[in-house]
Structure 1
Amino acid sequence: MMKKERVIEILEKSGVLLNGHFLLTSGRHSNQYMQCAQILQYPEYTEEIAKGLAEEFQQDAIDVVVGPAVGGIIFAYEVARQLGAKNVFAEREDGKMTLRRGFSIPVGARVLVAEDVVTTGGSVKEVIEVVKGQGAEVIGVAVLVDRSNGTIDFGTKLKAALTTEVISYEAEECPLCKEGKMPAIKPGSRKI
């Protein structure tokens, strides 16, 4: 596994960490935001971090790596490449996570779910259900950034390049909203 200092150095160099007042995908507010998509501009950094995470699953005989669209697509691909595994992605159709585009996961396959960032873990949990629905076995979850500080339980092995706690608030309790100095912005790509 990569050293935390190196991961932080890469995240800073690639402009992943933002400070301000943010509306998160979960609906919560925070003074920090991890725009993990920024790292994907730098293949050498993406490869380095994916390789470090893939090493954590090297002995698990992973057949397929699946990532949720959109954030997990490129990251899951690179983790799969490092593991020499097949790669697919799940995406929303009518509000529900599913496999489309002719993708399937073989019954009994050993699957790793890979995602760029988790806060509540909602998308990963949905992908896990899709994998199980295909009759495959979820071996673990690989995450670029775990914003829950390790509190999320997916019921399987979880490895993150960086585990951190970015404090977030329910909208009604947000001190930044109460101060009224700056409106919350939604830097991510998914609409609530």
Structure 2
Amino acid sequence: MQAYQEGFLQLAIRKQVLRFGEFTLKSGRISPYFFNAGLFDDGESLDAVCQAYATRILDSGIAFDMLFGPAYKGIALAAGTAMALARQGRNLPVAFNRKEAKSHGEGGSLIGAPVRGRVLIVDDVITAGTAIRESIEIIRGQGAEVAGIVIALDRQERGADNALSASQEILRQYGFPVYSIVGLAELLDYAKDRAELAQYREPLQNYRNRYGVSA
């Protein structure tokens, strides 16, 4: 595990973005962990997580021309990641969408730079993939192409009616990759050496064994 991934998990646990216990997901599954990126709710933590996004993006080597943040959580994440990348010498345009188009002022449903070229989508997680698919249609509707997607956490579990995870389904359907700062595999690796997470190791592994997908 890379240092930035470990730092991300430490921050997520400290901010209770990542919690452990028993959580009923929308799918009906009982998960031993839950992730809520909305709790990166202050300047320091948001700056740190966006730096982790930037590092993951640069490590991936992906070629892209701008960032796009889907409403709502993706808006702050894309803006913060653009600033983190600029500090590392990559000053890139950023845009995001509204849930509802405005009929006054500048109008429309898009804010920020024109959506052009190869667009990297920045969001928190992929569950059913609905918001991501909406973003893909928006980007393609502007005549641009999606370079890929970067998220904070990949649950790496198959869908209810599919052997593929949401990330794998996106790759199969659209042909571009989904990058994550961490996945369930990294979370398991992180938990194995930390006494404070000892009680959660077995539930996490059992969940992975039951619902996980192969890489």
TM-score (norm 2): 0.62
- In the TM superposition, residue 28 of structure 1 has moved relative to its aligned partner by 3.9
**Pair 1:69–1:28, CA change in 2 (3 A):** farther
Q: Find the residue that maps to 2:40 and give its secondary structure.
A: helix
**Counterpart residue number, 1:53:** 56
1:146 aligns with 2:154: yes
Q: Aligned-pair distance for 1:58?
A: 5.6
Give the superposition deviation at 1:120: 2.5
The letter for the 1-side match of 2:151 is V
Structure having the higher strand fraction is 1
1:157 to 164, 173, 177: 177
* Residue matched to 1:76: 78
Shift of the alpha carbon at 1:21? 4.6
The yes-or-no answer on 1:109 pairing with 2:95 is: no
Gaps of 5+ in 2: 102-107, 158-163, 186-203, 209-215
Q: Cα deviations across residues 57-81 of structure 1 (Å, max 9, x unaligned)?
A: 5661x32211111111111112222
Q: Structure 1, residues 30-56: CA drift from partner, whole Å, max 9, x if none?
A: 432101122242134223312212313
Gaps of 5+ in 1: 169-192
Work out the CA distance in 1 between the residues paired with 2:114 and 2:125.
23
Map of 1:6-25 to 2, 5 A cutoff? 6-24=7-25
Greater C-alpha radius of gyration: 2
| Partners of 1:80 and 1:28 in 2: CA distance | 36
Q: Structure 1 residues 45, 129: CA separation in 2 closer, same or farther (over 3 Å shift)?
A: same
How far the C-alpha of 1:23 sits from its partner, in A, is 5.0
The structure with more helix, counted as a fraction of residues: 2
- Aligned pair in 2 of structure 1 residues 18, 141: CA closer, same or farther (>3 Å)? same
* Greater RCO, CA 8 A, separation 6+: 1
Identity %: 23
Paired position in structure 2 for 1:131:
139
Determine the structure 2 residue equivalent to 1:86: 93
Post-superposition CA distance 1:121-157 (Å, at most 9, x none): 2211221121111110111111111123583232212
What TM-score results when the alignment is normalised by the length of structure 1? Answer: 0.69
Alignment partners' CA distance in 2, 1:159 and 1:28: 26
Equivalent pairs counted in the alignment come to 161
* C-alpha separation in 2, matches of 1:72 and 1:2: 24
Alpha-carbon RMSD: 3.0
